[in-house]
């Protein structure tokens, strides 16, 4: 894997956390940021499609409108 250097702007607190982190922690942060940025290259799912998918999975797992109503009314 080739590596490129970029400059990004961060708030002061985040920048200080990064600059004072150990070399090992900085490598972890860089790896996590690389993975996170790759997600922006994936096509995004419309919110309504995501909500439909969540609803279907909940129904497959036995959630009924009555159970949902009971859960939402619980204090």
**CB 26 within 8 Å of CB 17:** no
10 closest CA partner among 24, 21, 23, 22:
21
Domain residue limits at 58? 44-75
pLDDT at 27: 94
Q: Is the domain of 58 the same as that of 33?
A: no
**CB 29 within 8 Å of CB 18:** yes
Mean pLDDT by 10 residues, the chain (75 residues): 92 96 95 89 87 92 88 79
Question: Which H/E stretch holds residue 48?
Answer: helix 47-60
Question: Residue 3 falls within a domain, yes or no?
Answer: no
How many domains are contained in the chain? Answer: 2
pLDDT at 75: 63
Q: Is the domain of 52 the same as that of 26?
A: no
Question: What pTM, to 2 d.p., does this model score?
Answer: 0.55
CA-atom Rg of the chain in angstroms: 21
- 72, two tokens: 């939402």
Question: Residue 64 falls within a domain, yes or no?
Answer: yes
């Amino acid at each position: 894997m080739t590596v490129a250097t970029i400059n990004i702007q961060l708030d002061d607190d985040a920048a200080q956390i990064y600059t004072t982190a150990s070399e090992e922690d900085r490598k972890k942060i860089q790896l996590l940021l690389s993975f996170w940025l790759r997600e922006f290259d994936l096509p995004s799912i419309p919110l309504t499609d995501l909500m439909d998918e969540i609803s279907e999975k909940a129904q497959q797992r036995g959630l009924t409108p009555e159970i949902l109503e009971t859960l939402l009314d619980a204090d």
